[in-house]
A = this chain, B = another copy of it.
Amino acid sequence: MEKVFGGWQKQPNRLNIQGEIEKAIGEITGEEIELIASGRTDSGVHSLGQTANFKTNNENIPIEKFPIAINSKLKKSIVIKSAEEVTQKFHSRYSVKSKKYRYIVNNSSMGTAIYRDLEYHFPIKLDENKMSEAIKYFEGEHDFSGFKASGTSSKSSVRTIYKAEVLKKENDRIYIELTGNGFLYNMVRIIAGTMIEVGIGKIKPCEIPEIIESKDRKRARKNFATIWTIFS
């Protein structure tokens, strides 16, 4: 079994996705390349469709052969799904049109052993109708100052959420899904935690607009104090 990744971003003493892929591409092209990802996922976040770009002068390997070539050099915990040539202007982070995040809550009494690293087990019965009602208030353009981790360096806290949904799935799973043009540091997990508080009745759906508008990190902190434990 392999060690857990410390997230996407390159860091000296911890296994990371960026470093592993850069090394693999380097072995193939013989160049020192730099990978730019659409989002620098934290440790514990699993990507189903991360996009990353790099520049290469290599002309020996046809572009469609890159995934197989890179995968042959990678650990099995990282898989390149496809590759295509893009214009020089393309930049994975700045060219992003939308990003989608999914939080999986296992709402069964005991959770599972098999999927334990892929979902959050919360044994108290959640009211997904209330959660569905509440999450709709996050859609649109808002200043999400109250929903970011302290110490965030982003210039603006304004983000647009195109779609926000709570989906009831088989086997007591609840998916919390957010699609937007970008997310602040820890914003998704703070919203997911808020949804859980709505699900247990601690926050009413109608209170959400007021919480967003307050832009008050302290207020958010107070309301969402448990989140950090939940998702740490």
Q: Which of A's residues lie within 8 Å of B, judged by CB? A: 1-4, 46, 48, 67, 71, 76-82, 108-114, 116, 118
Contact = CB atoms under 8 A, between A and B. Distances in A.
B1 A80 contact: no
Determine how many copies of this chain the complex contains. Answer: 2
Given A1-B4, A79-B116, A82-B110, 8 more contacts: A1-B2, A46-B114, A48-B114, A67-B110, A71-B110, A77-B116, A79-B112, A80-B110
Contacts of A67: 110
A81 B110 CA distance: 6
A2 B81 CA distance: 28
B110 A118 contact: no
In the A-B complex, list the 4 residue pairs whose CB atoms are closest, starting with the nearest.
A1-B1, A79-B113, A81-B110, A46-B114
10 contacts: A1-B2, A1-B3, A1-B4, A48-B114, A67-B110, A71-B110, A76-B116, A79-B112, A81-B108, A81-B110
Nearest to A46: B114
Nearest to A17: B113
